[in-house]
Amino acid sequence: MFEYAPAPESRDLVDIRPSYGLFVNGEWVDSLGDERDKTINPASEEVLAEFSLASEADVDRAVSAARKAYESVWGRLPGSERAKYLFRIARIIQERARELAVLESLDNGKPIRESRDVDLPLVAAHFFYYAGWADKLGYAGLGADPRPLGVAAQVIPWNFPLLMLAWKIAPALACGNTVVLKPAETTPLTALAFADICRQADLPPGVVNIVTGAGATGQALVDHPDVNKVAFTGSTEVGRMIARSVAGSRKKLTLELGGKAANIVFDDAALDQAVEGIVNGIFFNQGHVCCAGSRLLVQESIETELLDALKRRLSTLRLGDPLDKNTDIGAINSAAQLAKIKSLSEAGEQEGAERWSPSCPIPDKGFWFPPTLFTGVAQSHRIAREEIFGPVLSVLTFRTPAEAVEKANNSPYGLSAGVWTEKGSRILWMADKLRAGVVWANTFNRFDPTSPFGGYKESGYGREGGRHGLEAYLDV
Amino acid sequence: MTEPSRLTVRKTYKLYIGGAFPRSESGRSYVVTSSKGDFLANASRASRKDARDAVTAARKAFPGWSGATAYNRGQILYRVAEMLEGRRAQFVAELVDADGVSARRAGELADATVDRLVWYAGWSDKIGAIQGAANPVAGPYFNLSTSEPTGVVAVVAPQEGPLLGLISVIAPVIVTGNTCVVVASERAPLPSITLAEVLATSDLPGGVVNLLTGKVAELAPWLSSHMDVNAVDLTGCPDELAVSCEQDAAENLKRVLRPPGKTDWQAQPTLDRMTKFLETKTIWHPIGI
């Protein structure tokens, strides 16, 4: 393996305040409660900033601000004017992209290569895309003059903090809704930076409100009687709770939840490309990806060859400082997530699967987990059934296409799947049979604002992205 | 002395599960009366076990029905309309009994039912063109979104509109390739079983539509909490029951349809009842040489 000199991105680009309030009605306000928490850099455990755990009263205040903004300004604004605000936001994000990428890597632990080259470009593109829809909603096939819903309550996860914010806020605003958004408690900083972007764009007060906090804040938000729409991205477990608590309320609900994607490699696949796709599928963003290809299904005849190539490739991955431009694998987002990954990996060993990791120096401070492979995995093993949400790949084998489909679909989840083969008709046959919302053929983990994303079965309902993404925010 | 008038042969109303007409395994039945209160028949009172059998039948039928060509599904739905038209007189008589409407009104309802089926039949090979998309992603990728059926749908049919309402909730579910378990109107279940006889003779594969008669309050909770049901249509549930069914449905994230207020079954439907039970699948493939 080559030695690389460190190439860290400068931290000077970001200006983190020691303490943050809530962003309500276009202003920074102190929480009405006194609960606070700290967000840390998972790569060093250094405290980055303090933030409020918003109380029920805070949530109520934010929802009132959003309601008022909806009724007095945003809900009445012509689509063409809403569009221009969103274009403005997209431009400011592009202008501040490097700063936001560094901030994201600091708070989340993901490599700067990813926050800079994947997250931020997609964030800006998402706002650009939905900006263009704002004055064209009558052409979306959802009625001649589709109406917004009102106030949207949005709760997002920590794996792609700013990107998930974009996926939620851009379509909501384009359709004429106002929002109250709660970022995850381990990654609030880019959402708080986004509040500042709203001010730079002169977005009318109350159109976007950001309340920080943990589960209790999220619950107060989705349960608030004056919200018309609930959008959640996160675990299936929490999604279930939200679906249950929203039941009967008539709030429109979309859920983007967990996954356990099969990445299926046939014996005729272009092997080197497949190896890259497998690596991207499960080690992108430390495997903190709901659509990660966490189950590798490899055709029996090429198992040895593929695993040898995969292990060789894993040995070249560089784990370490997220701000270093050479880094492939960053830090695990939190101590709690690291404990979960460790515990499921131990279960994998206990249940009889064989564990392998490349030799990989682990930094002294922070939360880290080496890229890990399990072979000899049975479908009944916990590591084949449960979402690990970490850099852990479970390898299973199959002989026939029918067996591959059977195993791939043998999951309560149905978010994504991958197929690797050079045979076109087989790709289409597989794509047809796989019960998953996104099928990547000879590629993996591609995202685009024009392309609908979302799950089957217990991976949730509703789509984000594309024309389909509008439906979640319109009264249709 | 006059000749004794001929005694009519009455029909036994049973359930419709997996293409067969079994009685409830529980052996239970309940009395169905006309709108005037006269005895009409003893209908089967389906049990939890019947509901589970019906889900099994619907699941078994799903791969074949969802895998059939859209053209084929459209033809079969049109065939159902043909069979229904042929039995028009029988449905008119049953609607007069069940709803206490005039024969003329019953005729209009039967006609509207046939027309509704024809309307939905035509959607089978068109809904994909409306719902799908070729997405212009920013990169060298072929990117296509298509719609697919959600799976097994449990349908609580409306209490009012035992024929037009019933077909208006079944047709949009099955035309796209879903299979279903339907709880018929509790008050007026008899037209649903006659409809099952139509379905059974229309080339519709057994198990695509399964019909249960009985108590909604007893059956809806089992179906809403059944882990192999993918979606529920709670149209025929009273409000309080609908809320608890919606809560139960959260357990495996079922898609839930609960239309606000009373639906006017005479009105031209929108796409909602089809799109609620469709999933969007997006396929990516690199473009290159």
Helix axes A79-95, A97-108, angle to 10 degrees: 70
Three-state secondary structure string covering A72-134: HCHHHCCHHHHHHHHHHHHHHHHHCHHHHHHHHHHHHCCCHHHHHHHHHHHHHHHHHHHHHHC
Q: Domains plus CATH for chain A?
A: 11-257+456-473 (3.40.605.10), 262-441 (3.40.309.10)
- Nearest-by-Cβ selection for B137 from A255, A451, A461: A451
Q: Catalytic annotation on A290?
A: yes
ipTM of this model?
Answer: 0.96
**A243 with B141: Cβ contact below 8 A:** no
Residue A360 catalytic?
Answer: no
The answer for B254, left when phi > 0, alpha when psi is -120 to 50, beta otherwise, is beta
0.90 cut: is pTM over it?
yes
Tell me the per-residue pLDDT of A397-438, one tens digit each, with 9 for 90 and over.
Answer: 999 999 999 999 999 999 999 999 999 999 999 999 999 999
What are the backbone angles phi and psi of residue A259, rounded to the nearest 5°? -155, 165
Per the CB < 8 Å rule, is B133 touching A468?
Answer: yes
A466 CB neighbours in chain B (<8 A) are 133, 135, 145
Contacts of A57 (CB under 8 A, 6+ apart): A32, A33
Rounded Cα gap, residues A243 and A239, in angstroms: 6
Q: How far is CA B188 from CA A149, B41, B95, B185, in A?
A: 37, 11, 9, 5
User: Which residues of chain B are within 8 Å of residue A247 when distances are taken between CB atoms?
Assistant: 243, 246-247, 249-250, 256
Given a cut of 90, whether residue A272 has pLDDT beyond it is yes
Type and span of the H or E element at B141: strand B141-149
Q: How confident is the model over B85-122, as pLDDT tens digits? A: 999 999 999 999 998 999 999 999 999 999 999 999 99
Q: What is the mean pLDDT of residues B118-129?
A: 98
CB atoms within 10 A of CB B284: 26
pLDDT tens digits, residue range A55-69? 999 999 999 999 999
Of B136, B280, B285, the CB nearest to A468: B280
Cβ <8 Å between B279 and A239: no
User: Which pLDDT tens digit goes with each residue over A116-132?
Assistant: 999 999 999 999 999 99
User: Do B122 and B74 contact (CB within 8 A), yes or no?
Assistant: yes
Nearest CA in chain B to A440: B284
Cβ contact (<8 Å) for B281 and A439?
yes
Say if residues B235 and B158 touch (Cβ distance below 8 Å). yes
Q: How many beta-carbon pairs under 8 angstroms link A with B? A: 104
Alpha helices in B124-181 (DSSP H): 127-131, 164-174
What residues of chain B lie within 8 A of the CB of A405, using their CB? none
- Displacement of CA A373 from its chain's centroid (Å): 23
Q: What are B256's strand-pairing partners?
A: B232
Checking if the pLDDT of B35 tops 90, the result is no
Buried b (16+ CB within 10 A) or exposed e, A103-139: bbbbbbbbbbbbbbebbbbbbbbbbbbbbebbbebee
Average pLDDT (A262-278) is 98
Per-residue tokens: B91: 């449905």
Residues of A in contact with B280 (CB under 8 A): 437, 452, 454, 463, 468
Across the interface, whether the CB atoms of A466 and B242 are under 8 A apart is answered no
Domain B43-262+272-286 -> CATH class: alpha beta
Other C-beta atoms closer than 10 Å to the C-beta of A45 total 12
Euclidean distance between CA atoms B93 and B112, whole angstroms: 16
Q: Where are the domains of chain B?
A: 43-262+272-286
Of A243, A250, A467, the CB nearest to B250: A243
Q: What is the mean pLDDT of chain A?
A: 97
Q: How far apart are the C-alpha atoms of A193 and A424, rounded to whole Å? A: 45
